[in-house]
Amino acid sequence: MKPSVTARTDVERMRGEELIRLARVLNIPIFKRTIKRSWLIDELMKELEKRDELSVPPVILESPAIILKKVSKRFGKKTAVRSLDLEVNPGEIVGLVGPNGAGKTTTLRMLTGIIRTTSGFIQVNGHDLKKEPILAKQRVGYIPEKPTCYPSLTAREYVMFTARIYGVPQETALIRMREFVDLFQFDEFIDSYVGTLSKGNLQRALLIGIFSREPPFVLALDEPIYGLDPRGAWNLKKLLRQLRDTGSAILISTHILEVAADLCDRFVIMNEGDIVGRGSYDQLRKQHPEAANLEEIFLNLTGGIPE
């Protein structure tokens, strides 16, 4: 596979000060007090093309990218997740759906290494999460159910910090940040302190932080649409489909069935820590011929349709 190439349009959409910063990162000498934007972009493109030729081929995720085998999690006497088996392949969006307290968030927290399994085995992109946590987490992007971030950083500082954590070259982070700032219409807030952002804008900042890294991703998204306005939600869904098509593996936890039905290729339905149903929409319909839609399948599997 060929190395990724930086498109000129990606550089052209950058603001003046971002171009200057990019020039500094790429060690392009700027001696004149005033310079033409087109000249700077030309210089930047020359340097970026040189670097693109030297860059390593894009990463391809292991298949399956996510493996959970007989995973259980107990909190004291309560079992939050019981003997869960789950696989997500690259190029697939899997919806983890279930009522409140079903164990969806616990599953995502185990997958991202925040909490440990009581028993069972988790592998991310071919790496055992217990034995090689750093390698396993390298491709993971996580959006928590209640998004929070360091309040004393500006959104721009946060994105660049995230890029550093994941070892993304600064030039790539700068170019990709602008792309996603535009996509999520975040320009107004990029230099605001994270602590002053509303929930929806904080969600956008976290998403930009993830997507400023280079794909493919192993995404663990906990209610990612919740908090976004309709345009933001639409953009995110479009982006997730694009990422799926380019080889990312995506696990979305949600109890908004419209989102799941609209976005996911497969569903895993959880109830009280157990998997009570799984398969594509068509497979689930075949298993439950009496149900008219996903909502009724879900209700059937999680305690029955209320009278």
Partner 1 sequence: MSTYKLMKNEIRMLYNQFKQTITTPSMLLFYGVSFFGVFFVSSVITGLVSFSPILFNFGDLLEDTISAPMIYAATAVFSASSVVSGYFGLGPAAVLTIDDENLMMSAPVKPHQIFLSRYIRRIVRKISFLTLGILAILPLLVSASLLFYSTVFLVIVIIIFLETNYFLGALSSYVRLWISQRTKRRIRHLMVVVLGVLVLLPAHPYLLSRFTALYVAPSNAFALFLIESTGIFAQGESPLYGVILLVIGFTICLLLTANITGYEHYEIYSATRGREETEGRFSRIIHGEVDFSRSRLNDPMLWIMLKDFWSRLRSPMQIWKYIYAVFGTAFVIYLNTIRPAWFPSVTIPPRLAFAVVPAFILMLILFIQMASVTSMLSFVDERENVYMLKASPFRTSDIVLSKYLLSLIEVAIAVIPACGFLIYFIQVGGYLSVVTLAIPLTILFTATGTAVGAYVPVFTNDPKTLPVPLAFSFPIINLGLGALLVLLVAFYSDSVLVLVILPLYTLSLVYCFLAASVHALDTYK
Give the residues lining the site for partner 1 (CB under 8 A). 75, 109, 112-116, 133-135, 137-138, 140, 142, 144, 146-154, 157, 161-162, 164-167, 193, 195-196, 220
Q: How far is the CB of 145 from partner 1 (least distance, A)?
A: 9
Q: CB of 132: closest distance to partner 1 in angstroms?
A: 10
Torsion, Cα of 149, 150, 151, 154 (10° steps): -100
**Smallest separation (angstroms) from partner 1 to the CB of 84:** 18
Per the CB < 8 A criterion, the answer to whether 112 and 142 are in contact is yes
Under DSSP, the state recorded for 154 is B
Q: Which of 230, 278, 271, 263 is nearest to 103 (CA)?
A: 271
* Choice between 3 and 133, CB closer to partner 1: 133
b (16+ CB within 10 A) / e for 153-162: bbbbebbbeb
Count of other CB atoms within 10 angstroms of residue 136: 22
Closest to 21 measured CA to CA, from 209, 202, 177: 177
Indicate the residue among 142 and 267 with the shorter CB distance to partner 1.
Answer: 142
Contacts of 152 (CB under 8 A, 6+ apart): 193, 194, 195
Of 110 and 228, which CB lies nearer to partner 1 in the complex structure? 110
Closest distance of CB 307 from partner 1, Å: 26
* Residue 232 C-beta: closest distance to partner 1, Å: 19
Q: For partner 1, which is the closer residue by CB, 86 or 269?
A: 86
In the bound state with partner 1, the residue whose beta carbon lies nearer, of 16 and 195, is 195
Of 150 and 234, CB closest to partner 1 = 150
Q: How far is the CB of 112 from partner 1 (least distance, A)?
A: 4
CB nearer to partner 1: give 140 or 264.
140
Cβ closer to partner 1: 110 or 294?
110
Min. distance of Cβ 80 from partner 1 in angstroms?
10
Residues 6+ apart with CB under 8 A from 34: none
What distance, in Å, lies between the first and last C-alpha atoms of the chain? Answer: 56
Least distance in Å: CB of 304 to partner 1? 27
Sign of the Cα torsion 24, 27, 32, 34 reads negative
Strands in the chain per DSSP E: 66-75, 78-88, 92-97, 119-124, 127-128, 140-143, 218-222, 249-254, 266-271, 274-279
Taking Cα atoms as reference points, which of 65, 53, 107 lies closest to residue 221? Answer: 107
Contact residues for 69 (Cβ-Cβ < 8 A; gap 6+): 85, 120, 121, 122, 123
